Amino acid sequence: MSSAIAEPVTTVLPKSTLDTMILWRTLSVLLLFGSWEIAGRIPISIAFPTFLETMDAFFTLIFDGRMFYAYAETLKPLIVGVGISAGFGISIGIGMGLNRTIQWLSEPIFIVMQAAPMAALIPLVTFVYGIGLAAKVCAVVILAAPIIVLNSYKAVTNANTSLIQMCASFQGSRMQQIIRVIIPDASPMIFAGLRLGVAAGFIGVILAELLITPTGVGDLITYHRSVAEYNYMYAAVFSIMLFAAVTVGLLEKAEIAFFRPERKQKKGG
Amino acid sequence: MFIQSKFKLLCASAAIALGVAMSSGAVKAAEMGSMHVAFGDIPGADMLGFMIAVKRAEARGVKVKISFLQSEDLASQAIVSGQADIGVGTPYALIQKVKAPIRMFYQLSKLAFFPIVNSEKFKGWKDLDGQPMYTHARGSGTEAIMNLMATKNNIKYSSMSYVPGSAVRAGAMLQGRIDATIVDAERRTLLMREGKGKFALLPLPKIDASDEALYANADFMTKNEEAINILLEELVLTWREINKNPGYVSQARTQYNLLPDMPESDVAGIDPYYEESVETKIFDGNGGGEKAVMGDFEFYGFAGTIQGDTSKLTVDQFWNLGPLNKALDKLGRI
């Protein structure tokens, strides 16, 4: 008996194509680091270190523990901020998708927040929240929350109508529609919004550490810049880019594994 | 008729003479050179002294453009890359660590900071043992001063937090969020006035180090010797005038229409700021010179900004005192 639900198309990439992809991606990274090394050796500026000098500083910061201490500081406002944004953002976003009054009330605010250069507001945050953890958490929230809210809202709005109608035809209550159909169907997009929100949160926390008070990775950047240790400054910048890329990449993997199995199969595992 | 034509001839001659005078003036101005000064801060009362000297140098034919950048680091990068000619700061680390081809040539002001505490909680340095401390930034002069005093008093702070800006730290003191910090002269007066006896200053030995100095690309200094000399002469004269009469800054601000958009409250603070600065002797009438450099070596060596054995360092590695000495030879030393 054939299934009523269509199976996702499985197009596993052949091994040769996979090898070619890995080769080109490796070359892309090598090209970037090679260009960096050459630019540093010219040098394009006396404040621009070579890639190897930066890597030397990067591993020095890791092995002497300064990098871990810095990340322990940076992650505090990031985790709290993303946690608040996720809880508040998903709830508001789902509410907006399900209720017109909430939608009309909230949509303009979050659209403006997403479109406006919110980073410009970060210095103003200090007037309300001072210079401590609260101000940095606020900076993360104002950058991460609009993305999470709007993605959650759009996810709920675009939930599969056929599934909702099917639930209704089976006498499912409104609550059952929401819990069993709308939210599960919207969850891939909600999670994608969360991933983008985390990426925005990284921007928020680093801006806060550079513009409010220098702590964590922001402190590594400002301190090493002020004492002209540019290889350490670039190592700190490199580390945050790497950390953000790995974190967002892992979230994408989780998204594919848990919410988008069809993409997992298309990618060939 | 004859008188009319004679009058016309006179007018024409006067116009030609004026034109020749103006064009020769323009040539002279061009001959004196031009310079682009980059400040690493927003314009404020503390920059007025320098701006007055600039106006006086302009009157002698030096063309000066001033830019205000977001931070001292950006300003120093602008100097190194040749996008600006003269910067303000103490770029010892930049010169020592990355061999930046820049040299300092005039001490604008000495470090003048004041450790201040909530007197209801602390009476002296010893009471700060095990207490949190708040300074401007890691590696800053304020941190170095507080660390120096901790070493001298054999105490250890429980933590060192960085809160950029004396105004922000003073605000935190007034709100009771922090109980010990270090602020500049302007905020010291503010805290002592607004605190109504709640705050007390802690004793500090004399620290003879530069807070702000002028520096330029070494190549620029060689090629623009005449312009630099004029600027230095006017700086020395302006600094001596301010030391004699701090009110000169307000008068000259009006005369040259400097920072016309300054808020009234800030304008009211100009005279007290310069009076306090003169009182604390932060403006050297001889532009600092070798004595200032030695003070810098000692202090910035302790702060970690300058690394290695400072006794082995030479003035020429960081400063070019030739133009200053030339100006002082002309104007006389005090």
Tell me the pairing of strands B199-201 and B63-68.
unpaired
| Cβ count near B210 (within 10 Å) | 26
Q: Using an 8 Å Cβ cutoff, are B36 and B86 in contact?
A: yes
Side chain identity, residue B16? I
Going along chain B from its start, the domains and CATH numbers come out as 33-111+209-331 (3.40.190.10), 113-201 (3.40.190.10)
What is the Cα–Cα distance from A72 to A80, expressed in whole angstroms?
13
- pLDDT 10s digit of each residue in chain B, 334 long? 445 555 555 555 555 554 544 444 444 445 678 899 999 888 888 899 999 999 999 999 999 999 998 888 888 888 988 899 999 999 999 999 888 999 999 999 999 899 999 999 999 999 999 999 999 888 788 998 999 899 999 999 999 988 888 888 998 899 888 999 999 887 888 899 888 889 999 999 888 899 999 999 999 999 999 999 999 999 999 999 999 999 999 999 999 999 999 988 889 889 988 998 998 899 999 999 999 999 999 999 888 889 889 999 999 999 999 999 999 999 999 8
B113 bridge partner residues: B184
CB within 8 Å: B138 and A214: yes
Paired strand residues for B140: none
Q: Angle at which helices B289-303 and B141-152 pack, to 10 degrees?
A: 70
Strand order across the beta sheet in which B159-162 lies:
B159-162, B132-135, B180-184, B113-118, B199-201
Q: Which of A63, A83, A72 is nearest to A243 (CA)?
A: A72
Q: Give the dihedral sign, CA B276/B280/B285/B289.
A: negative
pLDDT the model gives residue A207: 92
Q: How far, in Å, CA of B266 to CA of A96, rounded?
A: 48
pLDDT value at residue A268: 47
Tell me, what's the pLDDT at B33? 83
- For the record, the structure tokens of A234 come out as 């670039």
pTM above 0.80, yes or no: no
Q: What is the largest CA-CA distance in chain B?
A: 96
CB B334 within 8 A of CB B240: yes
The answer to whether residues B106 and B287 touch, using CB atoms and an 8 Å cutoff, is yes
B217 φ, ψ (degrees, to nearest 5): -65, 130
What is residue B116's predicted lDDT score, i.e. its pLDDT? 96
Q: What is the overall mean pLDDT for chain A?
A: 88
Is-cis flag, bond preceding B246, omega within 30?
no
* Partner residue facing A228 (CB), from B93, B137, B172: B93
Q: And the tokens for A264?
A: 């997992």
- The C-alpha angle B172, A69, B134, rounded to 5 degrees, equals 20
Q: In chain B, what residues touch A123 (CB-CB under 8 Å)?
A: none
Structure tokens at A51: 């890639």
Calculate how close chain A gets to B305, using CA atoms only, in Å.
Answer: 6
Task: Name residue, tokens 């890791």.
Answer: A62
Residue A269 has pLDDT above 50, yes or no: no
* Integer CA distances (angstroms), A36 to A40, A43, B100, B142, in order: 6, 10, 21, 36
Q: Which A-chain residues 195-234 have CB contacts (< 8 A) with chain B?
A: 213-215, 219, 222-223, 225-230
Rounded to an integer, what distance in angstroms lies between the CA atom of residue B101 and that of residue B216? Answer: 9
Greater confidence (A131 vs B92) lies with B92
Pick one of 3.40.640.10, 3.40.50.410, 1.10.357.10, 1.10.3720.10 as the CATH number of A51-266: 1.10.3720.10
Query: A89-105: per-residue pLDDT in tens?
Result: 999 999 999 999 999 99
Residue B24 distance to chain A (closest CA, Å): 40
